[in-house]
Structure formats: structure tokens, C-alpha cells
């Protein structure tokens, strides 16, 4: 055995004897602890939603003046979400038009000279929303470049030329390509719900993440500066998008590496339903969990009470959606942790540590998949039951009773199945032995007819020698001396 093979064998034995059991114990500990935390979180979240629903104040008209008495309380309202935009001045854009790099980096947060308006605008192209009170305007930029497109049969990386946002790595194939334009999102500040409430950033981000409408670039021709006009004149319009190509004779038909196309999308006003804590000046506060004397709970595991859904939902409907989401999260974490617990038990029982358990070896052999899954279900169920016993004693006792009944029923069924399998195995073994005995007996017994036929054949091949009784010795000598026929 070479030194390399010996080292590989030693490392493999070390992994089996040390690493696998330790990793299995780690997985078991983490999964049980997370199941315990998940049950606590689910209970506290359910309580928070139940109590929050009882204490939420319904705002019938979010377009009226604010009621200061609701500050610090949970409020529910459905309203049209719209923007109140700060727009760029033409003078500000013209002053920055000398440097294309500085223009590309301009956002709504970097321009000082602003005027209140109801329309968002891209300062680089002078492009605006098509509707008033637009929530967001986005400049989308794609470049024709190398992108990864899977693996070859030999395991090598494949590349193809495609339109893609940003600057794809592609193992350095695109390092010589220069991006002239960058994607940018311009968001109205503030974003209002009706006329009374201002939405926090997380709701705005969720709101503009989808359902945006593309704007045809041919619909707007007015610009505010010579720089903006030059950017538009330089491009060719293809499918409602600005197209910038190095091949001026074949713009949009045969793209080459480094070509870019630019188009715009807008997020129009939309009706949503919100449940949150009313702050001063109508702001919906972002809180980790409800605080203060107005709430009957103050546990951080309950999560936030900041609910928002698209459409016009009643108080009961939006809380029903929140409770449904809590149930989905709870069961998702349960399933994930049971699988992790199964993996940990499998690593532990499949290691040489299981040699110390001869009973398990005799019952299950070397296949521990079934045993690991059974133990994972039992341990996770016991953890859930104990957690509920701590948090909700009566409910916990009921869960433990039901769980023990399920375990007993499963044990009985398992024993019956195991006994039937053993009986079937013995039956199969006995039938195999009978078949072997029959085969051996058939080989040993020979019928008289076959014996007679065999004797006749032997006589034809070796005819008997006729011996005279009166002179037996002479006849025998004469028969021996005769030449063969």
C-alpha cells in the first residue's frame, strides 16, 4: 500500500469515527433547538395577531385629518398609494450636463435644488412618468455581453452572447466592455396613503418590486437640456427602447458586444391595505414589536405588527392572511428541521458508534434510513409537545396525549408489519429448501426404463464374449487373440 493510499484510508477512518458523529450531534442539537424556538415564535405570533386585531382602530377615511388620539395605536386603512415628488430643476441638470459620469450617478438624494411637483423625472434622459403622482420611475439598462449558459459534457463552463443587466463576470470575457449607462430607480418622497399617512421604506420597496408599466420612449419628445437631447438623438428606437450600438449601420438588427438598450418603467398609484402603528405627522412606524401600555403583549418573538396587502381588505381579512402566513412559516420550519434531525441521526447511527448497539444492528442491519426517520419524527414531536406544555399547559397535555397515542398505534402497526415480514421470510426460506430437496432427489433416482436403455447401448458398443462351458479357458484365449472386426 502506497503512502498516499494509506493517508486516504486514515483520513476516511477519521471522518467516519470522529467527524460524522460530531456533525450528527451538531445537527441534532441545532434542529431540536430551532424546533423549540419555532414553536415559541408561532405561539407568540398568534397571540400578537389575536390581541392586535382586538386593539386595531379602523380608519374609515384616510383622506381626512389625522386623529392625534390614535398616535401609538394600531390603525387599519385602505387607500390609494401615490407619490408627492421632488423634481429636478432644468438649471440643475444643465449645470451638470458637462460630465456624463456625474450625470449617470445622479439620484433623487443627490440634487439639492428641487421644486415640488407631481411627476418624477430621469435627469440623464429627461424622461418622466406618464401619470401624475407616480410612485417610482425606473431606468432599465441591458448590455449585449457574454453570460454563463451551463456546463459542457466535460464539465467546462459554456458561454453565450445575450442581453443581460449589469456587468456579468463570465470569467473576465466582458472586462473590456464599457457600460455607458446604469440602471437607476427614482422614488417619490414621501409616498402617501391617501392624504393622511406616510408609508415606511419597506412597504414602498415591496410596492415597487412588481407590476411596473413600461413606457414607450417615442411618446415623449420634450427635453430640458442639450445634453439630454444629444443622448436621445444618438440612439435608435427599437421596440420602444433606446438602442445604443457600436455598429451604426445595423442598430437593433445584429447586436455586437457592448451594445446597450435603455427603457423606462413606472409604478403607478395603487390601492393597498395597511395595518400599522400611527406615529406623529401620520407616519406608519417601523417597529420590531408593539410596545407600551396600549398592548397586552411585549415579547419580541411575536414579530412586528406591520401588515400590508394589495387590494381593499377588511380588518378580519388582512389578519386572516397574516395568520395563514404564520402557519405556513411554522410548518416550513418544522419540515426543514425534521429533515436536519433525520440527517443528524443518520450520520450518528451509520458511524462506528452504532457498533455498540447490537440490538439495533440485529433488528435493522446496516440500513438506518427507516430508523433515523422514525427517531426524527419521535424527537421532533416530543419537542413540539414539551414546548406547547410550557407555553400552553392544557394544549400541551392534549398534544402529548395525542402524540403518545400515535406512537403506540405506530408501534403496534410496525410490530405487525415486522411479524408478517418475518413470517413471509420463513415461508420463502422453507419453500426454497423444499425445492432444493426435490432437485437433489430427482438427480439421484433413475427409472428402470432408462436403466434398460443404458444397458442395451452398452451391449451394442461392447458385445459380450461367448464362452464354452466345456472349454472355458481356450475359448477365452481364442477370443482375446482374435483381431478386431
Report residue 92's pLDDT band, with 50, 70 and 90 as the boundaries: very low
Task: Name residues whose C-beta falls within 8 Å of residue 119's C-beta, 6 or more positions apart in sequence.
Answer: 85, 87, 128, 129, 132, 134
> Residue 238: its pLDDT value, please?
83
> Residue 458: its pLDDT value, please?
55
Query: Per-residue pLDDT for 485 more than 70?
Result: no
Roughly how many angstroms between the first and final C-alpha of the chain, as a whole number? 69
Which stretch, 70-74, 105-109, 328-332, 375-379, has highest mean pLDDT?
328-332
Give the cell for residue 190. Answer: 414621501
The mean-pLDDT minimum among 15-29, 108-122, 133-147, 202-216 falls in 108-122
Consecutive H or E run containing 150: strand 136-151
- Rounded to the nearest 5°, which phi and psi values hold at 67? -100, 110
How many Å is the Cα radius of gyration of the chain? 42
d(Cα 295, Cα 275) in Å, to the nearest integer? Answer: 15
The mean-pLDDT minimum among 245-254, 432-441, 462-471 falls in 462-471
Determine contact, residues 114/87, Cβ cutoff 8 Å.
Answer: yes
State the average pLDDT over residues 354-365.
51
State the average pLDDT over residues 321-347.
92
State the average pLDDT over residues 377-384.
87
Q: Where are the domains of the chain?
A: 19-72+279-386, 77-277, 392-430
d(Cα 147, Cα 423) in Å, to the nearest integer? Answer: 61
Determine contact, residues 227/97, Cβ cutoff 8 Å.
Answer: yes
> Residue 432: its pLDDT value, please?
67
State the pTM of this model: 0.68
Residue 46's CB is within 10 A of a number of other CB atoms, namely: 16
Residue 348's CB is within 10 A of a number of other CB atoms, namely: 21
Determine contact, residues 158/182, Cβ cutoff 8 Å.
Answer: no
> Residue 108: its pLDDT value, please?
34
Determine contact, residues 37/334, Cβ cutoff 8 Å.
Answer: no
d(Cα 365, Cα 371) in Å, to the nearest integer? Answer: 11
The mean-pLDDT minimum among 146-155, 185-194, 274-283, 439-448 falls in 439-448
Determine contact, residues 335/380, Cβ cutoff 8 Å.
Answer: no
State the average pLDDT over residues 234-261.
78
Query: Per-residue pLDDT for 107 more than 90?
Result: no
Query: Per-residue pLDDT for 54 more than 60?
Result: yes
Chain segment 178-189, per-residue pLDDT in tens:
888 899 999 988
State the average pLDDT over residues 338-351.
85
- Can you tell me which residue has the cell 405556513? 328
State the average pLDDT over residues 163-167.
85
Query: Per-residue pLDDT for 327 more than 90?
Result: yes
Query: Per-residue pLDDT for 482 more than 60?
Result: no
Q: What is the DSSP letter of 191?
A: E
Chain segment 110-140, per-residue pLDDT in tens:
333 333 445 788 888 888 888 888 899 999 9
User: What DSSP assignment string belongs to 209-253?
Assistant: TS-PEEE-GGG----SSHHHHHHHHHSEEETTEEEE-S-GGGTTT
Higher pLDDT, 255 or 92: 255
Report residue 463's pLDDT band, with 50, 70 and 90 as the boundaries: low
Instruction: Please name which of 464, 443, 466, 446 lies closest in space to residue 454, comparing C-alpha atoms.
Output: 446
Q: Is 430 left (phi over 0), alpha (psi -120 to 50) or beta?
A: alpha
Query: Per-residue pLDDT for 67 more than 90?
Result: no
Consecutive H or E run containing 227: helix 226-234
Average pLDDT value over all residues in the chain: 74
Which stretch, 247-256, 310-319, 445-454, has highest mean pLDDT?
310-319
> Residue 104: its pLDDT value, please?
32
Please tell me whether residue 413 adopts helix, strand or coil conformation.
Answer: helix
- Can you tell me which residue has the cell 410550557? 390
Higher pLDDT, 427 or 147: 147
Determine contact, residues 72/277, Cβ cutoff 8 Å.
Answer: yes
- Rounded to the nearest 5°, which phi and psi values hold at 8? -65, -40
Give the cell for residue 391. Answer: 407555553
Consecutive H or E run containing 457: helix 448-461
**pLDDT > 90 fraction of the chain, expressed in percent and rounded:** 18
Report residue 331's pLDDT band, with 50, 70 and 90 as the boundaries: very high
d(Cα 116, Cα 474) in Å, to the nearest integer? Answer: 147
Determine contact, residues 349/365, Cβ cutoff 8 Å.
Answer: no
Consecutive H or E run containing 272: strand 270-278
> Residue 274: its pLDDT value, please?
93
Amino acid at each position: 500500500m502506497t503512502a498516499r493510499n494509506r493517508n486516504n484510508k486514515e483520513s476516511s477512518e477519521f471522518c467516519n469515527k470522529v467527524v460524522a458523529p460530531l456533525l450528527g450531534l451538531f445537527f441534532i442539537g441545532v434542529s431540536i433547538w430551532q424546533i423549540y424556538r419555532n414553536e415559541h415564535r408561532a405561539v407568540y405570533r398568534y397571540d400578537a395577531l389575536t390581541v392586535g386585531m382586538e386593539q386595531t382602530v379602523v380608519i374609515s377615511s384616510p383622506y381626512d385629518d389625522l386623529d392625534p388620539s390614535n398616535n401609538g395605536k394600531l390603525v387599519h386603512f385602505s387607500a390609494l398609494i401615490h407619490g408627492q415628488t421632488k423634481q429636478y430643476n432644468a438649471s440643475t441638470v444643465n449645470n451638470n450636463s458637462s460630465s456624463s459620469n456625474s450625470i449617470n450617478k445622479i439620484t433623487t438624494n443627490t440634487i439639492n435644488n428641487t421644486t415640488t411637483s407631481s411627476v418624477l423625472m430621469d435627469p440623464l434622459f429627461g424622461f418622466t412618468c406618464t401619470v401624475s403622482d407616480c410612485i417610482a420611475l425606473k431606468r432599465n439598462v441591458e448590455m449585449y455581453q457574454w453570460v454563463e449558459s451551463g456546463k459542457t459534457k466535460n464539465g467546462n463552463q459554456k458561454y453565450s452572447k445575450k442581453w443581460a443587466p449589469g456587468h456579468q463576470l463570465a470569467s473576465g470575457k466582458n472586462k473590456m466592455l464599457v457600460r455607458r449607462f446604469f440602471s437607476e430607480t427614482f422614488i417619490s418622497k414621501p409616498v402617501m396613503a391617501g392624504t393622511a399617512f406616510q408609508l415606511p421604506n419597506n412597504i414602498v420597496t415591496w410596492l415597487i418590486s412588481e407590476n411596473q408599466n413600461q413606457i414607450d420612449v417615442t411618446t415623449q419628445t420634450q427635453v430640458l437640456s442639450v445634453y439630454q437631447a444629444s443622448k436621445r438623438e444618438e440612439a435608435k428606437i427599437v421596440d420602444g427602447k433606446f438602442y445604443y450600438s457600436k455598429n451604426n449601420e445595423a442598430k437593433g438588427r445584429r447586436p455586437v458586444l457592448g451594445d446597450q438598450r435603455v427603457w423606462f418603467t413606472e409604478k403607478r398609484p395603487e390601492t393597498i391595505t395597511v395595518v400599522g402603528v400611527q406615529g406623529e405627522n401620520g407616519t406608519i412606524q417601523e417597529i420590531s414589536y408593539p410596545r407600551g401600555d396600549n398592548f397586552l403583549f411585549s415579547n419580541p418573538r411575536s414579530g412586528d405588527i406591520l401588515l400590508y396587502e394589495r387590494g381593499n381588505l377588511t380588518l378580519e381579512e388582512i389578519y386572516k392572511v397574516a395568520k395563514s402566513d404564520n402557519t405556513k412559516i411554522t410548518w416550513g420550519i418544522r419540515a426543514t428541521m425534521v429533515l436536519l434531525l433525520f440527517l443528524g441521526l443518520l450520520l450518528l447511527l451509520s458511524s462506528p458508534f452504532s457498533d455498540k448497539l447490537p440490538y439495533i444492528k440485529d433488528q435493522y442491519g446496516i440500513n438506518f434510513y427507516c430508523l433515523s426517520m422514525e427517531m426524527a419524527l419521535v424527537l421532533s414531536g416530543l419537542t413540539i409537545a414539551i414546548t406547547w406544555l410550557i407555553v400552553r399547559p392544557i394544549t400541551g397535555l392534549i398534544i402529548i396525549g395525542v402524540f403518545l397515542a400515535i406512537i403506540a398505534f405506530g408501534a403496534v402497526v410496525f410490530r405487525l408489519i415486522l411479524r408478517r415480514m418475518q413470517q413471509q421470510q420463513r415461508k420463502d426460506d422453507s419453500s426454497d429448501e423444499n425445492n432444493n430437496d426435490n432437485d437433489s432427489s430427482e438427480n439421484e433416482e433413475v427409472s428402470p426404463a432408462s436403466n434398460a436403455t443404458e444397458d442395451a447401448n452398452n451391449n451394442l458398443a461392447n458385445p459380450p464374449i461367448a464362452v464354452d462351458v466345456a472349454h472355458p479357458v481356450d475359448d477365452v484365449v481364442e477370443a482375446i487373440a482374435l483381431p478386431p472386426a
